[in-house]
Amino acid sequence: MRGTEGRGRGGRRGSPAILAGLAAVLGLLLLMGLLPDLFRPDTGPAPAPDDSAGQVRGPGGGPPPPGTRVTAVGDGEPRAASVEPDGRFRFDPRPDGAMRYVAEWGPLRVEAPAGEGPAALRLPDLFTVSGRIVDGESGEPVAGAEVSCGGHTVRSDERGLFRLDGVPVTGDRPPALHVAAGGRPPAIVAPSAGDPWDDLFIRLSR
């Protein structure tokens, strides 16, 4: 009987030590931030972000100009999205293999990487226009031609090349270029939205 009582007293003496050890372990888990994870149900991998939709803003942060295009560029053929008047767009279905989204309007262009959730694009407030001016008959470069666009004016060099930086965007359409050269009728050039504004080729008549 004495032996039984000794074991009982020993068990009672061990219980506080065990409880203290458990409390220490729980406290350590709390400090490490692991305790909530032990009781959180396994829901599997997090869903991939939905990057099939997004919004494009126009210059100044407002709605984009009419005719703004958004395309997905990647491994395959570029795919166009439907763009709402407020700039919201969606690809349906989601373009597989897309690496970046491109928003374009006239000379304005902006890109954003795909695969990072809803894309947010904003068209720049300024753009660059450049190109080459040649004689419409001989194809020879026209030097000294005056090129004006959006309040900016430059002259073509001896190779007929010109470049205008920092041209502001005003209104709801790209501004036209006014080209004048001595002894030739002036020309007004209005590139379409799909033309490369950084590589224009302008022929002047005599």
Single out the residue of 190, 189, 175, 184 nearest to residue 204, CA to CA: 184
**Residue pair 161/147 in contact by the 8 Å Cβ criterion:** no
3-state secondary structure 44-73: CCCCCCCCCEEEEECHHHCCCCCCCEEEEE
What does the pLDDT read at residue 144? 96
Domain that holds residue 109: 53-122
Last residue within a domain, chosen from 94, 122, 150: 122
What's the rounded Cα separation, in Å, for the pair 31 and 42?
22
Do residues 190 and 133 share a domain?
A: yes
What does the pLDDT read at residue 197? 84
**Residue pair 2/10 in contact by the 8 Å Cβ criterion:** no
**Global model pTM greater than 0.95:** no
Average pLDDT of adjacent 10-residue blocks, the chain of 206 residues: 47 64 60 52 57 85 90 84 92 76 88 79 90 94 94 94 87 81 90 77 91
What does the pLDDT read at residue 78? 83
Bridge partners of residue 71, in order along the sequence: 80, 102
Do residues 76 and 118 share a domain?
A: yes
What does the pLDDT read at residue 5? 47
Q: Which tokens is 124 given?
A: 């720049």
